[in-house]
Structure 1
C-alpha cells in the first residue's frame, strides 16, 4: 500500500505542475535554437557531454528541404555524423519527439510537417571516425601481390596449359609507366588511322548496295514506292511487253482459260494461272479491259517469262548456255526483254560467251520475281503457292521474302476484306511488305 500511495502522490505532483502543450513543425530555426531529433549509435557509448548540431540543405526560396537534414558532433578524440534522412532509407520511429522546457513549463511536440500532424520522426544512425587514425594510409591489402603469388604457384606447380596462359598474360600486360611519355603519340596515331574508316551511314549504304534485291527506297512511306516498278522491269522492256498481252485481251472474258495460258511463256504456274483467271473474272478497272487489269497482265507475263528463264538456265548448269540457245527456247519473248534478263541474272566468264545462272544470280532472280508477286497481290503474297511452283521449300521461300523486308503474318478480317480473300484464309500466313521497309538484321555467328 505504501508503494501505491507514493506513486499516486508523484502523479498528483506532475499534474499540479500545469505543463502546457505546444505543437511545432520540424524545421531548423535560423536562430540556431535546439531541435530534438532521434539518433542511434550502434555499438558506441556517447559521453553525456557530447554536443551535436543539426544541418540541413537550404531551399532556393528559403527554408530547409524536407528530409534533407543530418546530425554531426564530436569529442576531443572521435567525430560522429549521420547521413541525410532521405539517404538512410529508414521508415522512422513510432514516436513524436518532444522538448520539455522547465523554465516555461511547456512541452513542445516536433513533427516533420508544418500542419502539426503527429507523424513518425526519422532516426539518424550515427557513424564515427577516430581523429588520430584519419591521417594513416589505408591498410587494405594490394591486389598486385596476390596475382604475383598466384602466378608463382602456377609456374611452379601448374600444368603446361596453365603455364602457357600465365606467359600469355605476361606478354599482353602493358607497362603503364613505360608508355606515359608516348600516350599522346599513340592517340594521334589512332585518330589518324581512324580517318579512313567508314562511318555507320557509309557502312549502311554499302550493305544496301550489295543486297540481292531490286533497287529500293528505304524512305518510302507507301509499299508501292519501296520497289518502283521500273526498277524491276525497265521502261523500254515494259513497253515491249504491250503487244505480248494483246492476244490475251482479244480473247475477252469467255471461258477460254487454256487458250490464255498458252499465250504466256510458262504454262504450269498455279500462281500465275490463278491470277490470270482472277483478272478475267473481275469487272471494271481491275478487269481485263481496265487499265489496272492490263498492267497486272503485263507483270504476270514478265513473271511467267522469269519462271521459264529460270528453268532453262538451271538445265544449262555450270557449263552455261549460248544466247541463241536460250532465245530459241524463249520463242516469242521480245528481244529487248531477253537481253535484259541475260544482263541482270546471268554471268559470263572471260573466255566464254555462255551465260551461267550462278547461286547469287538465282537469288537475285527470285527476289525480283517475288517483288513483282507482291505488287500483284497488293503486298500480301501467299508464299506457299509460289514455293510449290518453284519446287522450293516454304522456309527457303519465306526467307527470300524476308530479305525483301517482308514479315510473315496472318491477315486481319479487315485486310482480308480489302484483298477479297475468303474467311478460310484467316489461318494462312502471308508475306506482307510494309513501309518504310525494314530489312532483317544479320544473325550473329556462334561463339567459339
Structure 2
C-alpha cells in the first residue's frame, strides 16, 4: 500500500516537472528560409509596414561569404541600407543575440542566431545634389595641394599636410549625423525650462516665504516667518514711550545711526493720542537687525555675553531666534548676510507703506545702492525714480536722480538671464 502511494506520488512529480521546464530547440538552417536579423536605426526609423530585402551573393562561396547579406529598403524620401560584412558591419558588439519562438502547445522554445545590422540613411533629395560642383571643387583642391607641396615654402607645405590630415569627409559626417542628433536629443531631453529654473532659483534666494498670487502688498510676505508675534511682544518699548527727543531715543537703540528708524520713531512718539505700539516694536526690531548685521562681527556670534552688550541687553528670545534664523552653526555665510538684509527690507517696506527710498536705506547700512537695488528687485519690487514729494519727505537729503523701490502686485521676480554678462 505504501509502495503504491510512492509510485503515484512519483508520477505526479514527473508530470509537474514536464510542465515546469521548457524544452529549447535550435532551429535547423534551411536553404530557402532567410535567417532573422536585428537592425539598429540611428535617429529616425522607417514605418512598421516597410518591407526589407536581404540580398546575398550569387554563386558558390565559402560558408562565411555565403552568410554575407546586404539589407535594403526605401521610402518615398529615404533609402536605408546595411550589411553584416565589410565597412558597414556593426562593430564593438559585446554580445551575441538570438531570437526565439515559443510553442505553448509543446511547451518548447525554438531559437536561432540573429546577426546585428547597422542601418544607414540616405536622403534621396540630397543624394545627387551638387555632385558636379563637389567634383570640380575636389579637383581644384587636389591641384592646389600638389602645387603647394611642389613649390610652396616649408610652412605652406606643413599647413597643407595638416589640412589633409585633419580633413573630414562629408560622407563620414553624414553617416554619423543620425547618431549625433540622437545623442543631442537625449542630452537635452531633461534640460530644465526657464520656469523650472526660476522656481529652483526662488528656493535658493534668501527671501521670506511669499504668496505669488497675493492681491495686495500686505499679503505678499509671511510676516510671522520674519518676526513672530512672540518676538515682537518681547521687543522692549516701555522706556522708549517716555521719550520724545532724538537724543534720548538714540541712547535706547542698539543701532542709533539709522535715519529711517530714528525719524519714524520720533514721529510716532511726538504724535498725540494713542501710539501705534506694533509699529514701534517693529521699528525697534529693525534696529536690532541692523546692529546684528553691522556691529556684530563673525567672531562675536558665538559669544553670548558680547552679543548682549552690542545689542544693548536684547531679550534672550530675540538673540536665540536671530541665531537660529541667520546663522549656520553660529557662522554667518554671505547668503545669511543677504538673508538678514532681505528680511529687514520687508519689515522696512511694511512700516513705510511699501515704498523704500534706496539711497537713504543704503546710507543707513553703509552698503552700495546697487546691492540694495538688486536685493529689492529679488523681493519683487519695482524700481522707479523718486518724485518731488518723495524727495521732500525723505529722511535724508537726496539727489534729483534718486530712485525708490515699490512692492507691487501681482508679484514678479527678475527674469533669468539667458547669457552671462561678459
Offset at residue 149 of structure 1 (A): 5.5
Determine helix, strand or coil for the equivalent of 1:368: helix
Superposition map of 1:190-209 within 5 A: 198-209=192-203
1:279 equivalent among 265, 268, 272: 268
Determine helix, strand or coil for the equivalent of 1:436: coil
| Contact preservation (8 Å) 1:313, 1:321 | no
- Per the alignment, residue 226 of structure 1 pairs with 220
| Contact preservation (8 Å) 1:383, 1:431 | yes
Offset at residue 385 of structure 1 (A): 2.1
- Mark the structure with the bigger radius of gyration: 1
- Per the alignment, residue 414 of structure 2 pairs with 440
Give me the whole-angstrom Cα distance separating, in 1, the residues matched to 2:138 and 2:277.
80
Offset at residue 198 of structure 1 (A): 4.2
Determine helix, strand or coil for the equivalent of 2:205: coil
2:337 equivalent among 354, 362, 371: 362
Determine helix, strand or coil for the equivalent of 2:256: coil
Structure 1 residue ranges without an equivalent (≥5): 1-136, 349-354
Superposition map of 1:12-411 within 5 A: 142=133, 146=137, 170=168, 175-177=173-175, 187=182, 198-241=192-235, 244-249=236-241, 251=242, 255-283=244-272, 289-290=274-275, 293-314=276-297, 316-317=298-299, 321-348=302-329, 355-411=330-386
Structure 2 residue ranges without an equivalent (≥5): 1-127
Offset at residue 150 of structure 1 (A): 5.6
- Per the alignment, residue 403 of structure 2 pairs with 429
Give me the whole-angstrom Cα distance separating, in 2, the residues matched to 1:274 and 1:142.
82
Distance 1:373 1:147, change over 3 A: farther
Give me the whole-angstrom Cα distance separating, in 2, the residues matched to 1:162 and 1:297.
82
Give me the whole-angstrom Cα distance separating, in 2, the residues matched to 1:328 and 1:171.
77
Give me the whole-angstrom Cα distance separating, in 1, the residues matched to 2:354 and 2:206.
19
Give me the whole-angstrom Cα distance separating, in 2, the residues matched to 1:171 and 1:161.
18
Distance 1:197 1:302, change over 3 A: same
| Contact preservation (8 Å) 2:244, 2:269 | no
Determine helix, strand or coil for the equivalent of 1:275: helix
| Contact preservation (8 Å) 2:233, 2:281 | no
| Contact preservation (8 Å) 1:213, 1:368 | yes
Give me the whole-angstrom Cα distance separating, in 2, the residues matched to 1:304 and 1:223.
23
Distance 1:192 1:397, change over 3 A: closer
| Contact preservation (8 Å) 2:254, 2:310 | no
| Contact preservation (8 Å) 2:245, 2:266 | no
Give me the whole-angstrom Cα distance separating, in 2, the residues matched to 1:221 and 1:147.
70
| Contact preservation (8 Å) 1:412, 1:426 | no
Give me the whole-angstrom Cα distance separating, in 2, the residues matched to 1:215 and 1:384.
26
Distance 1:172 1:273, change over 3 A: farther
Determine helix, strand or coil for the equivalent of 2:383: strand
Deviations 1:299-319 (A, max 9, x none): 1111100111123433x45x8
Decide which moves more: 210-219 or 195-204: 195-204
- Per the alignment, residue 100 of structure 1 pairs with none
Determine helix, strand or coil for the equivalent of 2:214: coil
Give me the whole-angstrom Cα distance separating, in 2, the residues matched to 1:228 and 1:296.
17
Give me the whole-angstrom Cα distance separating, in 2, the residues matched to 1:212 and 1:162.
58
| Contact preservation (8 Å) 1:383, 1:394 | yes
Deviations 1:369-390 (A, max 9, x none): 1221111111211222222222
Distance 1:139 1:299, change over 3 A: closer
- Per the alignment, residue 91 of structure 1 pairs with none
Distance 1:440 1:262, change over 3 A: same
With the length of structure 2 as denominator, give the TM-score of the two structures: 0.55
Distance 1:445 1:245, change over 3 A: same
Give me the whole-angstrom Cα distance separating, in 2, the residues matched to 1:425 and 1:436.
29
